[in-house]
Structure 1
C-alpha cells in the first residue's frame, strides 16, 4: 500500500495551490510544452496550458484529484513507465522526501526529460522550526531520515536553487505554513495534511498540541515569538531546484 493511502485521507482539504509558488514553478519550467508531474498527489502545482501527465502511487490521492486535473498513471518515481526523453521537463513538488529510493527516482527524472524542476526543502531548517523545536521534537528524527534539498540539488547537478519563502497567509497547508498562525496546529484537519505530523507518533503530536494550546491561552507563545508577528514571509527551507 502506498504511504498516502494511509495518511492522505482528506489531503485536498488542507493542501491548495498558492500562486506565489506556482509562478516560480512555471518560470522554472521555461518553454517546456510537455511535463511529467511525478508524485503529483492531487495535482496542486500542475502547470496549465501544457501537455501534462501525472504519476502518483497512491490510490487515495488519485481519488481526490479533480476532474480537470491532468491524466494520471499509478506508478512510482523509481520506475517511471515511459521511454527515454519522452517529456520536455519533469516536475516533482514536495515528494522526493517520500521516495524510498530517492536517488533512483532522480535518475528516472533525468532519463525521461532534459529539464528537471524539483521543489524540496532543507531538513535542517525544518527541524529548527519552532513547532518542532519546542513542541514536537520527535519530528526532527523523521526529518533526519529524509533527503535534504542540498543533497537533492547535488544529485541533480542543479543549475539553480531558488529560495521560496512562506508568506504569512500561505494557502497551501505545508507543515510550516502556519508559522505565524500557530492556532492552526490545533486543528486535526491541519495535522492530517502535514506528513511530518501524520508520520509521527500520535501521542507525541497530542502532547505537543496540548502544550501549544496552553501556551496560546496563557500568551506565552506570543511573548516568546513576538518577532514573527510582523514578518510578511519566512524562510522555512523550501528550495526550487532546477537542473
Structure 2
C-alpha cells in the first residue's frame, strides 16, 4: 500500500515485536511447517517457519532484517502463490488497509492448507475501553470507524473462526495504537505517533488539540488521578483480537 511508503519510515524503530504477543500468535499458528506472512511490513512476529512475506510497500520491505524470510512486493488481493501453498497464512494488523477485504480473505483461504491467523481489533471495544481515543482523540476514533473491520464480518468471510483476546502488556515492546496505555507521555512523541497509522493518518492538525489537553493533564497530575486504576494493571484488553480459522 502506497500509504506505508510515507507512514512506514519509523516502523523498524517503533514497532518491534512484543515477545508475549508473539507467543500467542505462534501458538495460534500451531505446528505449521511453513507459514506465509501477508501484509508483512518489516517482519514482526514471523516465526522461523516463515517461507515468504508478502508486502506492498517498498519502504516496509527495505526495513526487513537481512536474516528474515524472502519477501515479495504484492497485495493481499492478488497473492503470487499457488493454491494450498503453505500450512498456515498470517495477516497481522493489516486487513483494515486492504482495498478489497473479501478478495484478500478469499486469497488467504486459497493459499492456506490448514490455518489462517489474523490479528485485528474490535472497534466498539476499542472506542469504549481505550482512554486515548475515548477521552482525548475522538477524531482518531472517527477515522478508525471508517476503516475498522468488524470481527464478525471477518469470521463470516473466513467460514468461521475462533476469536482470542490479545491482552496488551503495560510495557509492550510493539508501539501499535494502544501499546502505551499505561505510558501516556509516549503519545506526545511525534516519532511514536508516526508509527501508529490511526494517529498518523488522522493528521497532526486534527489530533493537536487533544494532545495538548493530554500534555496539560500529565503536567498537572489530572491524568494520573483520573486513570489511577490503570497504574495497578499489568495488562489491558482494549479489543485486540486473534481470529483463527481452519483451512478448507
Q: Show the 5 A alignment for 1:31-180.
A: 31-48=31-48, 50-114=49-113, 115-128=115-128, 129-146=130-147, 147-180=149-182
Unmatched 5+ residue regions in structure 1? none
* Matched residue count: 242
Shift, 1:70, TM fit: 0.8
Change over 3 Å in CA distance of 1:10–1:224 after alignment to 2:
same
Q: For 2:179 and 2:50, locate their aligned partners in 1 and report how far apart those are by CA, in whole Å.
A: 30
- TM-score of the superposed pair, with normalisation by structure 2: 0.94
Say if 1:120 and 1:148, in contact at 8 Å, map to a contact too.
no
In 1, the alpha carbon distance for the partners of 2:124 and 2:50 equals 36
Q: Output the CA distance in 2 between the equivalents of 1:118 and 1:195.
A: 18
The Cα of 1:51 is off from its aligned counterpart by: 4.3
Q: Deviations over 1:166-195 (max 9, x none)?
A: 011111101100111101111111100100
CA distance in structure 2 between the partners assigned to 1:74 and 1:241 by the alignment? 25
Which TM-score applies when normalising by structure 1?
0.96
- Residue 152 of structure 1, CA deviation: 1.4
Which residue of 206, 209, 212 maps to 2:208? 206
Q: Is the Cα–Cα contact under 8 Å of residues 93 and 118 in structure 1 kept in the other structure?
A: yes
Q: Would you identify which runs of 4 or more consecutive aligned residues in structure 1 move more than 4 Å?
A: none
Contact 1:15–1:174 (CA under 8 A) maintained in structure 2 = yes
Mapped partners of 1:67, 1:148: distance in 2: 35
Residue 12 of structure 2: aligned partner: 12
Encode CA deviations 1:176-219: one digit per residue, 9 max, x unaligned.
00111101111111100100001102212222211110010011
2:234 counterpart (214, 232, 235): 232
